[in-house]
Amino acid sequence: MGEKRKQSPAAHRLARSDELYPGVLLARLGDNAPAALMAIGPVALLANRKTALFCSARTPGDAILRAHDAARRMRDEGVTVISGFHSPIERECLRILLRGKQPIIICPARAIGAMRMSAECRGAFQAGRLLFLSPFADHPKRVTKESAARRNEVVAALADDVFIAHVARGGQMERIAGMLKRWRVSCLARLATNKRGASTRQC
């Protein structure tokens, strides 16, 4: 986008033994919980009640509008939102959220040690309301299908509530929705039923 990026502050490592490491990850993921989390920004935001936002790249038009509406509502209500903010729709939602004053937790699907912060995120970061969090210490340097799946799993495990704009049959979001159901996390999702339409369900 042509915007200038500056090197981010050094990442802080949160090991499982650290008192700031979210216990909910161990409770929900067990031995599969990350051995450590890498954080840049106010780690105290992890103690907030968090709503996860998921919007896959393949999302129908009406779901895109719902995602934008959800982002505006969460912004206006001061909700702490956690997401990878990786898909185009999620990035649009991030821009909406950055115009508010509520906390945001961005979870890249890659290591963040050498991350460069975008200009649009800098204001929120300097205001102490933006945290970057990654379950990857050194690798991968670039997002992969496997790292995105792992990131989504961690984001879901950290969430108290979840908004999923669209759940395609057999897709990654259906797997995440199944995990949320087992964990009894409040989740509003749009489940594709067939070529003619979709139905809304609680995860």
pTM of the model: 0.89
Helix axes 119-126, 88-98, angle to 10 degrees: 40
The pair of structure tokens assigned to 2 is: 């042509």
Per-residue pLDDT of the chain (203 residues; tens, 9 = 90+): 445 566 678 899 999 999 999 999 999 999 999 999 999 999 999 999 999 999 877 778 888 898 999 999 999 999 999 999 998 899 999 999 999 999 999 999 999 988 889 999 999 999 999 999 999 998 999 999 999 999 999 999 999 999 998 877 777 888 898 999 999 998 876 544 334 344 445 55
Q: If you compute the radius of gyration of the chain from its CA atoms, what whole number of angstroms results?
A: 16
Instruction: Mention every residue, 6+ apart, whose C-beta is less than 8 A from residue 129.
Output: 42, 45, 101, 102, 103, 104
Does domain 5-202 sit in CATH 3.40.50.450? Answer: yes
The pair of structure tokens assigned to 86 is: 């990786």
For the chain, domain boundaries:
5-202
